[in-house]
Amino acid sequence: MIVVAIGFTVAAVSVIALLPMMKQNNVSSAYDTTLMALRNYQNLSIVQRKRYIVTFTNPGAPNPSTITIARWDYAVPVSPAPVVVDTLTLPPDVTFSTQAGYPSTAAAVPDGFGAGTVAIDFDQGMGLGSQDYVMFMPDGSSQDLLGNWNSGVLYMGRAGDLYSSRAITVFGATGRIRGWRLYLQAGVNTWVQQ
């Protein structure tokens, strides 16, 4: 009986000790999945000479934290409708969201995009409002549906856990994709490129 009680105690302590690490693993997995999707479909757009549209689902939508990828083929005189080729779902405790405490000045947000208040904020500087997608072109650039460069940022993390936050930026003209993580440095919340 004593051995069984000691075994249960050790198991309980182990689970409690591993729980934060498992939660952090969910955030890392979601970040890696999102970054990989952007990079892979940008590469496919170049290799296959096709347009790929990567759309991020806002937190208030029916299926939050979902990434949908559609291929949009070229045809003359009119291109057919985009075809969904993949749907990725992030772990349930990780969402595309912002949190109080994010830096908000142009010099402090990732690559100077947005103000740290909109979770999915693409089409920077176009005056069209925050777009929830990027469309990779055969030259590797990111454009919106009107042909403008589509630069922007998206944020993700676990609710109530500020330092689980990650960000990903996309530069429209070049299609460059960069990842970021929020750290507390010298008492200041700072985005650091990964």
Q: What CATH number is attached to the domain comprising 51? A: 3.55.40.10
pLDDT at residue 48 greater than cutoff 80? yes
Q: Is the pLDDT of residue 62 over 80?
A: no
Please compute the mean of the pLDDT values over residues 70-85 and round it to a whole number: 88
94 is in which domain, residue-wise? 2-193
Give residue 71's pLDDT. Answer: 95
Count of structural domains within the chain: 1
pLDDT at 157 over 80: yes
Give me the chain's average pLDDT, please: 87
Q: How far apart are the first and last CA of the chain?
A: 50
Most confidently predicted of 106-110, 112-116, 177-181:
177-181
Residues 152-163, mean pLDDT to the nearest whole number: 90
Res 20: pLDDT: 64
Structure-model confidence comparison of residues 41 and 146, the more confident one = 41
Predicted pLDDT of residue 21: 60
DSSP string of the chain, one letter each residue? -HHHHHHHHHHHHHHHHHHHHHHHHHHHHHHHHHHHHHHHHHHHHHHHT-EEEEEE--TTSSS-SEEEEEEE---SSSPPPPEEEEEEE--TT-EE---TT---STTTSGGG-S-S--SEEESTTSSS--BSEEEE-TTS-EE-TTS-B--EEEEEE-TT-GGG-EEEEE-TTT--EEEEEEEEETTEEEEEE-
pLDDT of residue 128: 60
What region, left, alpha or beta, does residue 65 occupy, with left being phi > 0 and alpha being psi -120 to 50 degrees?
left
Residue 148 confidence (pLDDT) = 87
